[in-house]
Structure formats: C-alpha cells, structure tokens
C-alpha cells in the first residue's frame, strides 16, 4: 500500500537509510499508478505532506504528478480543491508542473528566465 511505502520512506529519511528510502520511493511510485483515481489517493496526499519535511520533495513530486493526472481526466472537483487549499506547497507544485519552464515541471532558474522587458507585447 502507498501509505506503508510512504511511512517506510519517511523512516529511511529520518534515520538516513538511503537504501530503504530509495526502495520505498520506488514502491510508492509504482503503487500510486493504480491508485491515483481512487478514494485512497486523497489519503496518500495527506500522508506524503504530513510525514515528510518540506525539503524532501520525493513523495510530494509523485503526488503532484498524479494530482495533475486526476485534474486532466476529471477536472477540478471538491476533494481536489480541498487538498489545494490545505497544502499550499502542493498548489505550487501543480502550477509549476502545469506551467513550469522545464519538462519535469520545475521552475526555470533565474539564469534561464527571460524578464520579458524586450519581448514584443510587454512594453
């Protein structure tokens, strides 16, 4: 279950057992594939955001990826909206994944950004 895998991931991170963390991450990601449209997916969001530190983006990125899939297939509805309001970090990840400058949804760093001052239409 993704909940168990996420807890093992958190334990691996807390005690710096990278092999456990990596294995749990792979299991979590594989398990999430079949669950992102299910009711239990919303529990996975809560678990990923409550047991991992903000600086650890592994599970959070997986959640954002499948959250975007859910949005694409079903559109915005109450449960998704509640999670976006509850976890601002998730909201930022969704926006970055949807509109980010890099293929993986990450934000362009400052050296890659065009400030738009010389772009047509931005005068």
Quote the tokens at residue 1: 């279950």
Residues in the chain, total: 123
**d(C-alpha 25, C-alpha 82), whole Å:** 25
What is the spatial distance between Cα 47 and Cα 112, in angstroms, rounded to a whole number? 34
Per-residue pLDDT 10s for the chain (123 aa) are 888 999 999 999 999 999 999 999 999 999 888 666 677 788 888 989 999 999 999 999 999 988 888 888 888 888 888 999 999 999 999 988 888 766 555 666 666 555 555 545 544
Residue 44: other Cβ atoms inside 10 A: 25
The pTM of this model reads 0.75
For the chain, give every domain's residue range: 2-99
SS3 state at 116:
coil
C-alpha span between 30 and 70 (Å, rounded): 16
């Amino acid at each position: 279950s993704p909940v168990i895998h996420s807890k093992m991931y958190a334990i691996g991170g807390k005690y710096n057992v990278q092999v456990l963390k990596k294995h749990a991450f792979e299991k979590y990601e594989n398990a999430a594939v079949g669950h992102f449209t299910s009711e239990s997916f919303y529990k996975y969001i809560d678990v990923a955001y409550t047991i991992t530190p903000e600086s650890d983006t592994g599970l959070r990125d997986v959640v954002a990826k499948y959250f975007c899939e859910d949005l694409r297939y079903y559109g915005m509805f109450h449960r998704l909206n509640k999670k976006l309001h509850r976890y601002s970090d998730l909201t930022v990840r969704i926006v970055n994944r949807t509109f980010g400058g890099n293929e993986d949804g990450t934000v362009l760093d400052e050296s890659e950004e065009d400030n738009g001052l010389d772009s047509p239409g931005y005068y």
